[in-house]
Copies of this chain bind each other. A is one copy, B any other.
Amino acid sequence: MLTETTGDRRSGSPQATGRDSTASRIASALRDRITAGGFQPGDQLPEERISAGLGVSRNTLREGLQVLVRERLLVHRLNRGMFVREPTPDDVRDLYRARRLIECGALREADSVPVRVLRALRAAVESGQRAAAEGRWRDVANASIALHQAIAGLAGSERTDDTMRGLLAEFRLAYAVMTDPRAFHEPYLRRHPSIVEPITAGDLATAEARLRDYLRDAERQVLAAFPR
């Protein structure tokens, strides 16, 4: 079931283009739905149904979908259509390699920790713990993602931020195979403070070492959660 949204076309002005093109708004809307779990990996996105649901033409929809293919959230099978990507174990290994490079690298290259990043780190830890206490495991995942995004932000590079966003979006697809989000997130939740704490203290080397262990363990556990 695809539960088409009614579409959030600004009703204020007749054909409010808002700020950017319809195609990019379509891409954002679908990206949000995919990463929020609105589609499952492997689901097809039939052009007719989706375009009707979003209230755009098929051509415009296809423009938007190209972007998501480039972001690896969708795969295109010629003459078959668009499908939500199903990450393989190899994908997971690749994702963790890329994350190690960026996150550990960001910690190593950073010569200072901007307050902006510190605040983001602390906010992520706190909101993660609050969400866990209330059993909102989806929000726990969001907090974890925000934390790792903040770490990547230490590199101070827009492009790196963007790359990281893409990797983490792909990760959400991998999370979808998790049957028990609590069992997965809870142990790592506890380790978040042990990474953020040395960052606060300016000891980035310790933070990097702990992050490296954390990522290694997480990789193992994600892989273990794969069927077969």
* Interface positions of A (Cβ within 8 A of B): 17, 19-21, 23-24, 59, 62-64, 66-67, 69-72, 76, 78, 94-95, 97-98, 100-102, 104-106, 108-109, 155-160, 163, 167
CB distance B66 to A157 under 8 Å?
no
What are the residues of chain B within 8 A of A157 when measuring CB–CB? 94, 97-98, 101
What are the residues of chain B within 8 A of A23 when measuring CB–CB? 62, 66
CB distance B109 to A101 under 8 Å?
yes
What are the residues of chain B within 8 A of A105 when measuring CB–CB? 101-102, 104-105, 108
CA distance A147 to B188 in the complex (A): 38
CB distance A97 to B21 under 8 Å?
no
CB distance B76 to A21 under 8 Å?
yes
Show 14 A/B contacts (Cβ-Cβ < 8 Å), sorted by A.
A21-B78, A23-B62, A63-B63, A66-B67, A67-B67, A97-B109, A98-B159, A98-B163, A100-B109, A101-B105, A101-B106, A104-B105, A105-B108, A163-B163
